[in-house]
Structures are given as C-alpha cells and as structure tokens.
Amino acid sequence: MATATRVKHTKFIFVTGGVVSSLGKGLCAASMGALREARGLNIGLQKLDPYLNVDPGTMNPTQHGEVFVTDDGAETDLDLGHYERFVSHRMTRHSNYTSGQIYESVIRKERRGEYLGQTVQVIPHVTNEIRASILAASEGLDLLIVEIGGTVGDIKSLPFLEAIRQLRLQLDARDTVFVHLTLLPFIKTAGEIKTKPTQHSVMKMREIGIQPDILVCRTEEPISRATRDKLAMFTNVRADSVMSLPDQDTIYKVPLVLHGEGLDDKICELLNIWSREPKLDEWKRIVHTLENPRQRVSIGVVGKYVDLAESYKSLHEALIHGGIANNAAVEIVYVDAEQVQAGGADVQLGRLGGVLVPGGFGERGSEGKIAAIRFARERKIPFFGICLGMQMAVCEYARSFADLPGAHSSEFDPNLDGAVIALMAEQQSVTEKGGTMRLGAYDCELAPGSLVARIYGKSRISERHRHRFEFNNRYRERLERAGLRLSGVSPDGSLVEMIELAPETHPFFVGCQFHPEFKSRPTAPHPLFTAYIAASLQYQRTRT
C-alpha cells in the first residue's frame, strides 16, 4: 500500500440490509467509517430512513429508540450516534433524511411550480430528490458511507434503493460499492447455518437492479470456507467478498473484526483507493480495557423507558466510555421509576455505586425519579441528573430545603403554583409538536471554583440540548440561599444550565440541562461521565 491517501473526488459506499431488521447496519457502517478514517481518509456518513415521519422527534422511544441530536439542532436517528462514536466527522441535519422530509420537499417544489406543470412521480422526482440529498452530503469528502434504513423487500424502501441504483449509473464505474448486511441463521436441530434467506435477499436486490459487491454476514459463529463458496455461487458475489461478522461481546470490536476479514482492503480495491495501512492501536486499546478491567461498578439508570435499552443508547455508551477512562467495567442497571415511586428505593438502589436520572418527557414516573434523587442525596450516593433528571433534582431540593413542598414542573401541571421548572417564554404560544424545543449546541459559562469547572478544566463549554422547560428564575435566589449551587449558566446569565451540591455536602451531586452523552466517544470519553464513574468507584470502595 502507498503511504499517502489519494482520492480525486468523492466515492460512495451504500449499506443495505436483508432478511430481518436490527442486524446492525448502523454499527457496520460506523465501523467501516472508522476503518476508512484510520487509513487517513476524510469520511462522512449518512442515514436514509424510509418512514414518513419528518424526523423521529415525536416518535415513542420504546418503538424507535433514542433521538440523537446534532450540533445544528437536528433530531435524528440513533444510528447517527453510532457514527459519531466511531468517527471524528460531526453529523449535521444533512446526515439524516426521511421519506417524510423527501416527500415534503417534493410537494413544496410542486406547489411553487418548480416542476413546470409536470406530473410529479416517484421516478424521477422523488428519486432525484434522494440523489440530490446524497450528493449534497458528500461535498468536500473523500468518501461518503450511506446507510439505507429498513430491509430489502419493504415497499417503503424502494425509492431509496432505486435512487442509489441510479447513482451507480450516474457516477464513474469505480466510485460506488454496495455492501449488503444479511443474516445467516443457525438451525440448532439441523446443526447447521442456513444460507437460503440470504440467497433470497440478494435475489430481491438483483430484481431491482442492484448487485451487491460485498456481503457482510451476521452469524452466531464464524462461517466456514464452504459456506462462503456456497454464498458466492448463489449470490454472484466473489468468495473473497463474503465477510463474516459473528456476534461480539462489545460493539467496539467490530472494526477490528471487519479488518481481520479484509473488508477495508476489499473496499480499497473496489474503489481504486490508494491509502496507508490503517492505524488501529486506539481501537485495540479500547477493546483490551473492556476485556481486562481493573475494577467494576454498578450504575442505576432510573427512567420510564427501561423496557428498551435502545431508548438510552447514547447514555449507555457514554457510561461505558466513562468506565474505559477509569479502567473499569460498568454494569448498567435499568430501574423502572414507577417501581421506585411505589416505595422500592432501598431495594432498587441500595446496592448500587451510583444513581443516574436521564432525560425524558411526561409525568409518568416523575415522583419515582424524585424519590430516587432524594435517596441518592440522603445516602450520599453519587448522583448525575441529565435534562429532566436535573429538573427533578431541582424539584426535590426545593421540596426538601426551600420550603416549597409542592415544587414541581409546569410540564405536568400548567397551572401549578410553585413551578420551579417552567416553559420558556418564547415557547408558550407554540401548539405544534416536533422541532419546537431548544435543540442543538449552546454555550454555557461555568462558575469559577465549581466542581464542574474543575471537571471540564475550562470556564466555557458547548453542549447539545433537547428540551422545552427550564429552571424558573423566579426561584433562583431562594434555591441558592438554600444551598443549591447554580454552577453553569448561559453566557447572558438568563438560563440555568447546571446545578451541583458543595463537595462537603455530597461527594458528587451534579445536574445538567443538556445531554452530554451525545458528545462522548470511546476514544474521548466525556469528562462528566469520566468524573461520575470515578466518584461511583470511590463510593463503592468506601462502602465495602
């Protein structure tokens, strides 16, 4: 291989999925991005989702998983979180398009007369819009990896597949690669891996004019040479382009596994890219730390979407990153806030090294979260509150120390007297849901000498937000007098962004209005999670 990267213009990798959903297309795309970036390429990633929602902002987290927020305020698919954790490229609103956005754009153009009276159809108008969104996201990049949501055979995905078929014809012959992620089920009674579902999936792709260049096969165990040869024969994919991706005990092994399969070399060959050998020492270090931790800690996440861990995906990973920074394994225990509310705080939380209350919406479970916060404060268990978690911490403190026994949020009762958390003034006239919140990156000034200023090591930070309700300034002075430190505020001083208790009062009690988990990476753990895990480890040591 050459020592320098040579790419004259943007090249594309299109990632599709077959047989079943939830195979890990996002992780596969992110891992390919990590491998390409390790070779010195300037890469980007994009997710095209076939659902008709304009964005996932109003979708139930238990149905769709978390909503990932970008710096520019876009509410996007959780796969963009995987992308940002695996590569240095920061996602934007152009990194995620849905059918809803595409159709909305086409209809607006039709209403403005931009189609000059033509009959507006899926082909060419919708597919042209999809192609334009892909090309716009590729500007200035060596390589763009595009993940197509859904599963081949879904009617909703057809316009996106047709658009990338057209792009292959539009671009130079060696500018595109199609990677198809598929499942090889193991039938225990027969004692063998079955290739037929993958054969049918590729057949479906070929029916619409797309021949995959590479197959990435999800399996329970590595596949044999005979299985690779069989797949090559029946899918028209070369045997050396059939890759095995067995189940892993950590997602951060995936780039190393795909590298071991030769995926990145094969992509270089197909795209005619000359690049250096990948530098993977950092990924090896991360995996070694995860497999050989020096210590362990249990963290309780008290929420209401605990039936689906994907609802807190970025949070889950940020806690793991905090463990990596401390050479520790983090056991994450998801605790139903309603069970805590029913009186189970001691049973649910008593054995844990730390308590974390994450973001969320709606009244259900709010009293359980307040009970969990009170338990952590009184027992001096390290506590971390994020977004709604910070808001509930303010409510708990106001009830306990500021003579406000009914303190709560006006999100749950608009007529509440004693709403220490209230709607932003500019939001009070908004009636439509979706895209109406404080979204994206905002600056925050940290109080000199505060715990959080020491943790960040600087006085001004930028973090991503996703919320409507704020600390009510009417109670600001009263809560400060009661001992609550407002340790982070907006640059103009009008909005409270962070709270904490003094170290002599509590070893670690921090709340933030923003979502720090969105900016954490395994190669660069977020300082708040690093400090929180360190405090939890210390608490666990002193308790034992």
* Residue 197 CA, distance from chain mean position: 29
Which run of H or E residues covers position 86? helix 79-86
Which is more confidently placed, 305 or 122?
A: 122
Tell whether the model's pLDDT for residue 18 goes beyond 80. yes
Q: Is the dihedral of CA 318, 373, 443, 433 positive or negative?
A: positive
Across residues 301-320, what is the average pLDDT?
84
CA pair distance 260, 431, nearest whole angstrom: 53
DSSP 8-state class, residue 278: P
> How far is C-alpha 339 from the geometric centre of its chain's CA atoms?
27
Catalytic-role residue among 64, 129, 180, 387: 387
- Which of 303, 307, 253 minimizes the C-alpha distance to 65? 307
Peptide bond into 124 cis (omega under 30): yes
pLDDT for the residue numbered 425: 61
For the chain, domains (ranges, CATH) are 11-284 (3.40.50.300), 293-543 (3.40.50.880)
Contact yes or no for 475/404 (Cβ under 8 A) = yes
387 included as an active-site residue: yes
Per-residue model confidence (pLDDT) at position 364 = 75
Amino acid, single-letter form, for residue 424: M
Q: Choose the catalytic residue: 82, 259, 316, 515.
A: 515
Distance between CA atoms of residues 193 and 188, nearest Å: 9
Q: Give the active site residue among 500, 512, 517, 526.
A: 517
pLDDT digits (tens, 9 = 90+) for 498-535: 999 999 999 999 999 999 999 999 999 999 999 999 99
Residue 373 contacts residue 355 (beta carbons within 8 Å): yes
Q: What is the pLDDT of residues 411-453, one digit of tens each?
A: 888 878 779 999 866 555 444 444 457 899 999 999 999 999 9
> Is 515 noted as a catalytic residue in this protein?
yes
